[in-house]
Amino acid sequence: MAVRRTITGFSNPLVKFLRSLREKKHRKQERRFLAEGLRLLTDARECGIVPEILVMAIGRDPHPLLDALEDAVAAAGGDIVEMDVEILAKVTGKDNPQAVAGVFAEFDTRLATLDRAAAPIWLVAQALRDPGNLGTMLRTGDAVGAGGLILLDDCADPFSVEAVRASMGAIFTQKIVTARWDEFLPWLREGAGAQHGGQLVAASLRDPTDYREAPYAAPCFLMVGNESQGLPQAYEEACDLRVTIPMLGRADSLNAAVAGAVLAYEALAHLRRD
């Protein structure tokens, strides 16, 4: 049964718990993360995911989507909490917070949970450090109908407030997997077919093919590297295909998330033609 309550003090234990979720160590301990904004929480609800705790600002404007969200949380037996907007600002770390936020259980990010046949395209990022780039890649994956984002090695936390915010709701539509390279590559090579369990494509300058002429094949795993260092040489050499995006100006490379988006749309167009 849903619990509904109002909090008016900054020292309330629940407020301290909510604030703690802005730190990675506490998210890992609790296996919970914080998301804010009616649009983002509505995207979650429409994906069949509702927050365990729904937090709303006292004096918020009424909205039918907020009513639907409250009903969904109540039906799931979650907690509904109202608090002053000043307290909500402390929870979210924003001076002008959204009128609603939610606490969600972290998803299962094990590689074993991924079904490579579920989508023709998957995005892969190695040592991606910027949560904004991570969120953008999730949005790209949603836009191109990718199955999800595979995060290799030491990447930014996909459940950080910044990454969740940057995903614009795509964190609820895209499968997220975290793995080490020496775990991912053997998994990818399992299965039958010319490309084994999938075609691994790297954005690279090492003997590459023009990205518009590359022979993409599903399931296609498009991999980009760290924002400043790119992919390690051994990772590139293990790929089935290396592609490059021509640079016509003075810049020598694209932002990692932008490069992933360009490749994803080209691969999608190629696979649709086939």
**pLDDT 10s digits, 43-76:** 999 999 999 999 999 988 889 999 999 999 999 9
Q: Are residues 145 and 70 in the same domain?
A: no
Res 184: pLDDT: 96
Tell me what the mean pLDDT of segment 215-221 comes to. 95
- Using 50, 70 and 90 to split pLDDT, how confident is the model at 139? very high
Between these two residues, 156 and 196, which has the higher pLDDT value? 156
Res 194: pLDDT: 41
Q: Are residues 79 and 119 in the same domain?
A: no
Tell me what the mean pLDDT of segment 155-183 comes to. 96
Q: Which residue, 65, 84, 105, sits at the end of a domain? A: 105
pLDDT of residue 13 exceeding 80, the answer is: yes
Q: Are residues 54 and 143 in the same domain?
A: no
pLDDT of residue 195 exceeding 80, the answer is: no
Four-residue CA torsion sign, 236, 237, 239, 240: positive
Domain that holds residue 170: 111-273
Rounded Cα–Cα distance for residues 49 and 238 (Å): 37
Q: Are residues 192 and 154 in the same domain?
A: yes
Q: How buried is 170 (Cβ within 10 angstroms: 0-12 exposed, 13-18 middle, 19+ buried)?
A: buried
Q: Are residues 36 and 153 in the same domain?
A: no
Res 192: pLDDT: 46
- Asked if 182 and 188 count as a contact pair (C-beta separation under 8 A), the reply is no
Res 180: pLDDT: 97
Q: Which residue, 72, 105, 138, sits at the end of a domain? A: 105
Regarding pTM above 0.85, the answer is yes
pLDDT of residue 190 exceeding 90, the answer is: no
Between these two residues, 268 and 3, which has the higher pLDDT value? 268
Q: Are residues 126 and 240 in the same domain?
A: yes
- Using 50, 70 and 90 to split pLDDT, how confident is the model at 193? very low
Q: Which residue, 74, 105, 136, sits at the end of a domain? A: 105
Tell me what the mean pLDDT of segment 197-214 comes to. 87
Residue 257: CATH number of its domain: 3.40.1280.10
Residue 64: CATH number of its domain: 3.30.1330.30
Of the candidates 33, 9, 7, which has an alpha carbon nearest to the alpha carbon of residue 22? 33
Q: Are residues 135 and 237 in the same domain?
A: yes
Q: Are residues 18 and 80 in the same domain?
A: yes
